Structure formats: C-alpha cells, structure tokens
Amino acid sequence: MKKQPVKLKNSLLLLLTATIWGVAFVAQSVGMDYVGGFTFNMTRCIIGAIVLLPIIWFFNKGKEPKVQSPEEKKASQKTLLTGGICCGILLCLASNFQQFGIKYTTVGKAGFITACYIVIVPILGLFLKRKCSPFIWGAVAMAVIGLYLLCINEGFYVEKGDTLVMICAVLFSFHILVIDYFSPKADGVKLSCIQFLTAGILSGIPAFIFENPQFSSICDAWMPILYAGIMSCGVAYTLQIIGQKDMNPTVASLILSLESCISVLSGWLILHQSLNPREILGCVIMFAAIILAQLPQKNNPQ
C-alpha cells in the first residue's frame, strides 16, 4: 500500500531534477556573457565536486564499512578512481562542446539536441551486441526528421552551434554507457565527485591557456556559475540518485528527458528566446522520438 506514494514522491523528485537541468541551459548561456566556456565549466565542475563532499559524508554516516580484504579494497578503489576519471574525461569533452554550442544557438534548441542521447545510446549499444527493437529504429528516424526541421535552415546547412551540440549529444551517449558500466561497481556519489573534479581540472588547462580567467569576471558570473555548480551538479545529481531508487528506469529516464522541454520554456521566459513554427514542429517530433525510444517493448533484449 505504501508503494504508490513512494513512486509519486520519486516521480516528483525526478521532475524537479529535470527542471533544474532544463533551467541550467539558461545559466550556461548567461554565464558566457562574463567568462569563457572553459572557465565556466572549470568553476562549475569544481564547485559540483565540493558540494558532493558533504553528501558523501552524509550517505556514509552510520553505515557499517564493508568487510574487504586488502586486495579487494585496493581493486575497489582502483575501479572507483578509473571510473571517475573516465567519466570525467567524457563529461569534460561533452560539457565544453555543449557550452560553446549554446553560445551560437538558443537554449531551447540546445536542450532538444542534447536530449538526442536517449536515442543515440541504443544505437551505440549495437556495437556492444545489444539488439534494438523496431520501435528504436522508428525513434531514430523521427529524431533525424526532428533534427532536420530544428537545425537545417533554408540554405540547407547546419548552424555552428547546432553542430557543436550534436557532437555533445554523441559524447554524452558515450558518457552514459561508461557510467552504466562503472556505476554497479562503485559508489555513485563518489564516482560523480571524482568525475566532476576530473572535468574541472581538465577544463582548467585550456581555460588558463586560452582564456586567462580573472577572479573578478568569475565573481561577476557568480549566479549562473553557482546555479550550474550547486544546483545542476550537486543537488540535481543527488535528487536523481534518490528519485531513481525503486523506480522503473524507463519511467525515470522519460521523466528526466523533460529537461529538453523545460529548456525551451526557460529560454522563452527568462531570455525571451523563441522558436519559429518549423523549429517547434521539430521539437515536437524529437520529443515524440524520445518518448518512443523509452517505451517498454515486449521481447526486447536488454
């Protein structure tokens, strides 16, 4: 009898997560008015790692340590560190392509193109010998049509920002597959903390080479940076962990994919950006593709 209220609570937590991530596109766009893209990601990722430290302490408080031999403990730590670094490298690449892409396109288009990872992931899964159902291929075809309407203008070329965000979506797909591999073998929050720290350090290298970060500029961008670091990285990730517990992963991912719709609404409400009818139709078709890709199918091998 208690399962239904728990599922409702979890669904609301995931909806809040999607909302935070959707609005983060606005923060990323506004942040570029003050600092370079590498500087923005360096700062937000390091803040995200710092925010997760008390969360790790809270989750581990009162928990009995797992009994392990020295060899098992060493192997476990190696897996955690390897997974965190691998995830961090991909997160660094994906977030920076996204960050610079947002500079040349609207947050709404960026949100929908990024959401393509939900369709790209099962395609990449083919290389891991995971079969796709006809529904998935239908979703892929719909996504291609949606992307055409959303990104290809009358001159039949893709805008620079759209291309960068498309590359970001592919990189996030690899990121999801790497997380899928390491998350069952390591603590999720610790894994995330290491990945944020790795992404922050790696983003800092080109930031100091090409952008010469100034503390005054970072202070000027304090609001979008803190939102992206604390809310998008720290808070949203924790809410996702709590919300996905005992939830059907298909339902969870479908709720989280609503960030693409929220990015359009937030861009319209906060930045006064708008989409033309052709782009709106592209968004509708892409969202339908996202839903189709996430619907459970019978006899669909996992």
What's this model's pTM, rounded to 2 decimal places? Answer: 0.81
- Domain limits, the chain: 8-61+69-294
Q: What is the DSSP string of 274-287?
A: ---HHHHHHHHHHH
Per-residue tens of pLDDT for the chain, all 302 residues: 445 566 778 888 888 988 998 898 899 889 988 999 999 999 999 999 999 998 888 877 767 667 677 787 888 889 999 999 999 999 999 999 999 998 888 887 888 888 777 778 777 877 776 666 777 678 778 877 887 777 666 665 678 888 999 999 899 888 888 887 887 888 888 888 999 999 999 999 999 999 989 999 999 999 999 999 999 888 887 787 777 766 666 566 667 777 877 888 888 888 888 778 887 888 888 778 777 766 665 554 44
Amino acid identity of residue 72, one-letter, is E
**How many whole angstroms separate alpha carbon 241 and alpha carbon 228?**
18
Q: Tokens 């609207």 label which residue?
A: 106
Q: Tokens 């999607």 label which residue?
A: 18
Contacts of 109 (CB under 8 A, 6+ apart): 150, 151, 161, 162, 165, 275, 279
Would you tell me how many other CB atoms lie within 10 Å of the CB of residue 292?
Answer: 18
